[in-house]
Copies of this chain bind each other. A is one copy, B any other.
């Protein structure tokens, strides 16, 4: 049976403050929990199926601790890995950077995207959503265990990249057509926030402004959703490596 303090502890992990305090986060669903267990240290695993590996609890108890509308059979509480104090831009890799992406679903989808496109490091400005928010973790579908997410002062990180002559790309509503540009296989690609796009401070550090052309005659959307724009950008940066003749 679940103790009251355990139930309170898990409920508290909806908030960043308590995730930071306890250094724990929640993941739900059989596949996701299995994926994380292969890579990350579990603090506790709760299951409603007696054949599954974990502490058996009732469905009523699972309902109490689950953050999902329809609770699954498995809920895992995992240790948050120690956060990295600093991150250095790499000359040999493609790195994605987020300037204040707020929506947990968007952040989770972008982490999943990084995993798909072999982007090992995602650098987030401090105003970006927390990657251990339960909604983010669910949206990553397990990719959170594979991608290194680092929160850092973005202008500072990008300035270091510029100093090392690493190209810093940014997506804007104007700039050079992403389909026509010769894109570097290594560098940093910055995506702006849902409402504001790339902030003026970060814009100053961008060495290559890009835009994704629109095909609409009467375009209503001012922009693409940030996760779909990131998908198109990652695809453009990576596609050349996968073209078969």
Contacts and interface: CB of A to CB of B under 8 A. Distances in A.
Contacts of A220: 35, 115, 141-143, 145-146
B145 A244 contact: no
A241 B214 CA distance: 11
A119 to B, nearest CB: 8
Number of copies of this chain that the complex holds:
2
Interface of A: 35, 105, 109, 112-113, 115-118, 139-143, 145-146, 177, 179-180, 212-222, 224-225, 227-232, 235-236, 238-239, 241-245
A179 B116 contact: no
B232 A115 contact: no
Contact of A242 (B109, B179, B245): B179
Contacts of A229: 231
Contacts of A227: 109, 225, 227-228
A231 B224 contact: yes
Contacts of A140: 221
A243 to B, nearest CB: 5
Contacts of A139: 225
Given A117-B215, A145-B220, 20 more contacts: A105-B105, A109-B225, A109-B227, A113-B225, A116-B212, A116-B216, A116-B221, A118-B214, A118-B215, A142-B221, A143-B221, A146-B216, A146-B219, A177-B242, A180-B242, A215-B238, A227-B228, A228-B228, A231-B232, A232-B235
